[in-house]
């Protein structure tokens, strides 16, 4: 495969916005954001599947944070060209979105970073408590241990309602990803240096959204990004885990809608 030829789906037309999902799932994780565009015409929403995820084959060479970022950047060049665009990234996709902003500079109108990866492994600052509601009877009935472990890791509410959202938006992508490519990426999960280093400042309009109960990336480490984005709004939501666009979709959609309304729109 041509590593820049990622599979994607898109909606609408006008100014491009690239929405990048996270690790071991696919674009369906971000589709709950679509209602934020209702009543906001003129946005061409591009949802790629990262290499080795969803409908995109793995890279032809080694999989790492660097090769994944390069593949997305090449795909954006081929798909968006020299048009101004916005970018949104969730989790690992947030790290990629930061790399996109650093590479394209002022061509990027702004970014929305949802629970972005900033640090990993033992370097992460994680919250002490990550569960706000728990249905022990439900957890006892769930049969597949691997699915259950993922559910408990990415959702703060372990309830029947949360499980239904998990089954609809997260589990299909989890079951579709390339396990060998994911293992390679897990071993080389961070870019060699922060995309913002050294001293990068981007003056577009940016949104940072984290959650108090995020068991995978936390919320404190992400606040260091504010130094690089002078027009960044930072929000820390309570009552949600690593997938706030699924677990508390109305609140997240409202924040995304507000961010969209701040972005300059090229003629």
Q: Give per-residue pLDDT as tens, 151-170.
A: 999 999 999 999 999 999 99
Classify domain 8-262 by CATH number: 3.40.50.1820
Degrees (nearest 5) of the Cα angle 247, 249, 252?
115
Residue 254 predicted with pLDDT over 60: yes
Average pLDDT over residues 76-90: 97
Query: What pLDDT is attached to residue 4?
Result: 57
Mean pLDDT, range 2-6, rounded to an integer: 65
pLDDT, mean over the chain: 95
pLDDT at 143: 67
At 225, give phi and psi (nearest 5°). Answer: -65, -25
How high is the pLDDT of residue 267? Answer: 59
Question: How would you write the chain as a 3-class SS string?
Answer: CCCCCCCEEEECCCEEEEEECCCCCCHHHHHHHHHHHCCCCCEEEEEECCCCCCCCCCCCCCCCHHHHHHHHHHHHHHHHCCCCEEEEEECHHHHHHHHHHHHHHHHEEEEEEECCCCCCHHHCCCCCCCCCEECHHHHHHCCCHHHHHHHHHHCCEECHHHHHHHHHHCHHHHHHCCHHHHHHHHCCCCCCCCCCCCCCCCCCEEEEEEECCCCCCCCCHHHHHHHHCCCEEEEEECCCCCCHHHHCHHHHHHHHHHHHHHCCCCC
Rounded percentage of the chain residues whose pLDDT exceeds 90: 90
The token pair at 55 is 């409908």
Kindly list the domain boundaries of the chain, sorted by start residue.
Answer: 8-262
Site of tokens 């990027």: 108
What would the pLDDT profile of 30-65 be if each residue is shown by its tens digit? 999 999 999 999 999 999 999 999 999 999 999 999
């Amino acid at each position: 495969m041509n590593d820049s030829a990622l599979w994607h789906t898109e909606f609408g037309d006008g100014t491009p916005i690239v929405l990048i999902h996270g690790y071991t799932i696919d674009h369906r994780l971000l589709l709950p954001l679509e209602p934020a565009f209702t009543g906001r015409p003129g946005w061409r929403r591009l949802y790629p599947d990262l290499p080795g995820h969803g409908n995109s084959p793995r890279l032809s060479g080694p999989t790492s944070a660097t090769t994944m970022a390069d593949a997305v950047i090449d795909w954006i060049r081929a798909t968006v060209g020299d048009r101004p665009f916005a970018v949104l990234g969730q989790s690992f996709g947030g790290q990629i979105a930061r790399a996109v902003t650093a590479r394209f500079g002022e061509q990027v109108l702004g970014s929305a970073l949802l629970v972005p990866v900033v640090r990993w492994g033992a370097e992460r600052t994680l919250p002490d408590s990550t569960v706000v509601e728990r249905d022990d009877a439900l957890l006892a009935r769930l049969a597949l241990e691997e699915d259950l472990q993922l559910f408990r890791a990415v959702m703060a509410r372990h309830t029947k309602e949360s499980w239904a959202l998990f089954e609809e938006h997260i589990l299909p992508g989890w079951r579709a990803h390339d396990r060998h490519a994911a293992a390679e990426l897990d071993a080389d999960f961070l870019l060699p240096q922060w995309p913002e280093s050294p001293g990068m400042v981007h003056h577009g309009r940016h949104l940072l959204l984290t959650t108090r109960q995020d068991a995978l990336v936390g919320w404190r480490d992400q606040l260091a990004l504010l130094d690089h984005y002078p027009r960044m709004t930072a929000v820390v939501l309570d009552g949600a885990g690593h997938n706030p666009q699924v677990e508390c979709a109305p609140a997240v959609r409202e924040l995304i809608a507000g961010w969209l309304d701040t972005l300059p729109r090229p003629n």
